[in-house]
Amino acid sequence: MTTTSPEEFAALELLHQKLEQAATAADLVDVAYRVIDSPLGKLLLAATPAGLVRVAFANENHDLVLEQLAAKLSPRVLRAPRQLDPAARELDEYFEGTRRAFDLPLDLSLSKGFRQLVQQHLPEIGYGQTRSYKEMAEMVGNPQAVRAVGTACATNPLPVVVPCHRVLRTDGSLGGYIGGLPAKTALLELEQSA
């Protein structure tokens, strides 16, 4: 196994930056992505020209998530960190406790129908507040769809930014979370401490 020297790594990074610039200038990037550090571990951020399309926790396997984006959206996926600077900045501010709502354009095309409807309404739950799955079903006009609300939260492609972590079981217990229960607990505690 060969190792890359610091000089070789710097040269490769420069080459990637040139590739990113050329691909962006030629409008060849349909899905841009980057990975950021967060208090919850590494998060993959992906965006289309329409907006942020995916936030993925490390437990979701970032390589698999990128494969899924290539299959569902476009094979033209490129690591293009600068295109995700606004999302990275807003997430940093959120984790620092200085941001309570996100102002990013969102691309909800990974969800359809009722799931997308629920995900559109999740930001209505205020920072530091919670709702039950039943209350969410009522909020979207289908009080009998409690399980479907749970599925919509479990398949939310934009966790943290679209706050499905604020939805709990009727008895107040956590329910599930795509990033794992420790991540859901940490997000709720972060918002409660503000």
The structural domains of the chain, with segments of one domain joined by +, span 18-96, 113-193
CA distance 139 to 118: 9
| Residue 18, pLDDT score | 57
DSSP 106: B
Determine which one of 52, 53, 164, 178 is catalytic.
164
CATH topology of domain 18-96: Double Stranded RNA Binding Domain (3.30.160)
Which residue is listed with tokens 């102002």? Answer: 103
| Residue 16, pLDDT score | 47
The architecture that CATH gives domain 113-193 is Orthogonal Bundle (1.10)
Catalytic residue check, 153: no
| Residue 25, pLDDT score | 60
| Residue 193, pLDDT score | 87
Q: Which helix (H) or strand (E) holds 1?
A: none
Asked whether the domain spanning 113-193 has the same topology as the one spanning 18-96, the reply is no
| Residue 133, pLDDT score | 96
Could you read off the pLDDT tens digit of each residue along the chain, which spans 194 residues?
A: 667 777 776 666 665 465 556 556 655 569 999 999 999 999 999 999 999 999 999 999 999 999 999 999 999 999 999 999 999 999 999 999 999 999 999 999 999 999 999 999 999 999 999 999 999 999 999 999 999 999 999 999 999 999 999 999 989 899 889 999 999 999 999 999 86
Phi, psi of 4 (to 5 degrees): -95, 130
H helical segments located in 33-98: 62-72, 85-96
DSSP 125-171: S-TT--EEHHHHHHHTT-TT-HHHHHHHHHT-SSTTTS-GGGEE-TT
Q: Which helix (H) or strand (E) holds 192?
A: helix 181-193
